[in-house]
Structure 1
């Protein structure tokens, strides 16, 4: 049987692996499923159609699976899906999705999500992200893998932040942030590319050189966006060691709907 503190309230309909632990005064609803090795701290509330994977550590006072803060929501059976090995610190709030956008809020694997962070309806958070204290994601925000977000950051609805990007402290993010870039400020500006983070992930010198060139093409040569995109596409031939990084950037620029930070 799961290790459930006697003061916790777990609905009989909830599905908890035998290795799950639930702390004092936690409340877990009937549609919740929690995988092996996950721990739920004191006073947490997990409700709605929420699925949580393996080996997550959920700290006290988190609220997961509450209805979305969207006036159009009318009680539909939407969902929250959380992957494996995430750390979710105190007072975090993750909401269910809304029907018009697919109805699912998704958080991937191996994320480090600090206290008071909010993930609104229909967000997509990738793997290996770091969200510092008071990170606020409005509805439909997408974060790529390995994104790092500083404290007190607000991200506007429908914004996309590309993989390996970094957002500095107290930035107001209202446009899409391309992969690998480093942004901060209010108004937000691109300050360079995330060279420290990329080196920590063992990017080769050839890949770093290609990313530096993509930054130059987008931000340092006065090109139009269409011209910069064409030049970036050509790098896949000229710098084959970084072809995967060029493809990531090209796909992101083609998919951007709010316009990129420039």
Structure 2
């Protein structure tokens, strides 16, 4: 009993130190948003008195509200699309036996091994041919074919959804869609929430694809909108950091609301994997 207490205290101390190291970048970002751009090198960890000026600089960008709306639109559709396609594909690959299933599983793994940047040139060319440049669609479409999501849901559904439940639904004359949405979907809710949170973060922070496919300022998302604080000779880094802080708030709120489901999904997935 006497040896367990010091070990527990040591574990708690280690966790506290790791938590502080994790929170320091967020704290620094928030505090640096209160500094003048020319005084950032004097950053001492304490708030400055330039917050109002930086906030006014952010609010002076008339399109900032539109940028937030564009990012919310992209993220909402991306989350819905990623969840639907990944769960449907994962359910089919894990619970149906058909010719070519092994090939499709290997294809999903292959898409995870190849860097997505390798296909950017072809993707931009394709979007241009489809006349989708300067729209939000090219930013949304990649989330509908999320290889990690399909792999994640395939593994989770295979271990979490008993085949007996599916067979009992068929015996009761339930259709395949009803079995999927009424019997299987409630069981995999933790994994769905986890995937939705990851898809939201990835789509909200997406920068490279919008940069290559959007030139119309009205279609900018938040990551592109922040670049507007870069001038020809001077960059308003204080206002830029404050804008990044504001842009991070939806992700933090989303995580706080669904953190319990996220931890449940990740833990269950790790144990079952």
Please tell me the TM-score bracket, short chain as reference.
under 0.3
TM-score scaled to structure 1, two decimals? 0.23
The higher relative CO (CA closer than 8 Å, separation ≥ 6) is in 2
Which one has a bigger Cα radius of gyration? 2
Name the one with the larger helix percent: 2
TM-score scaled to structure 2, two decimals? 0.22
